[in-house]
Amino acid sequence: MPIPLDESACDAASIECALRARAADVLVLKLPLLGGPRAARDAALRAREAGADVVVTSFLDSALGVAAALHCAASLPEPLRACGLATGALLARDLAALTPDRGALLLPAGAGLGLVPDAEALVYLATGPRRELCR
């Protein structure tokens, strides 16, 4: 049974230490923990180089974070284990629509991450008091 390294895969140093010690067969990568898509992709490529598999997962992010993770996963060479990115249904409300199609998340076609945030959801999910800047 493959042994995963999940929350402990939180930075490049921890990942490198685990890879050198052969402490895990699979790295579970969460973009927010690692510092974004580029850091996660670097970690994934380093893991592959060391003979470990990779899984890109959500950190229970909004659709925007999941889209970033989806783009990162799609940029990795095959074969790729099933990634844990279809987590949007766990949220009461999301910032944008990113839903599985027959068990797979498809890369959005638009510019950037490919998603257009829902303006009503942005207002509804905003935290903190509103502030107006005066000139």
Span 72-94, mean pLDDT? 88
Span 11-27, mean pLDDT? 93
> How far from the centroid of its chain's Cα atoms is residue 106's Cα?
14
Q: Is the pLDDT of residue 132 over 80?
A: no
- Domain 4-125 coded CATH 2.130.10.10: no
Supply the DSSP string of 16-77, one letter for each residue: HHHHHTT--SEEEEEHHHHTSHHHHHHHHHHHHHTT-EEEEE-SS--HHHHHHHHHHHHTSP
Q: Check residue 123 and report its DSSP letter.
A: H
**pTM for this prediction:** 0.85
Span 6-10, mean pLDDT? 87
Reported confidence tier of residue 109, pLDDT bands at 50, 70, 90: confident
Reported confidence tier of residue 87, pLDDT bands at 50, 70, 90: confident
Instruction: Pick 57 or 125 by higher pLDDT.
Output: 57
Q: 36-49, pLDDT tens digit by residue?
A: 999 999 999 999 99
Span 109-130, mean pLDDT? 83
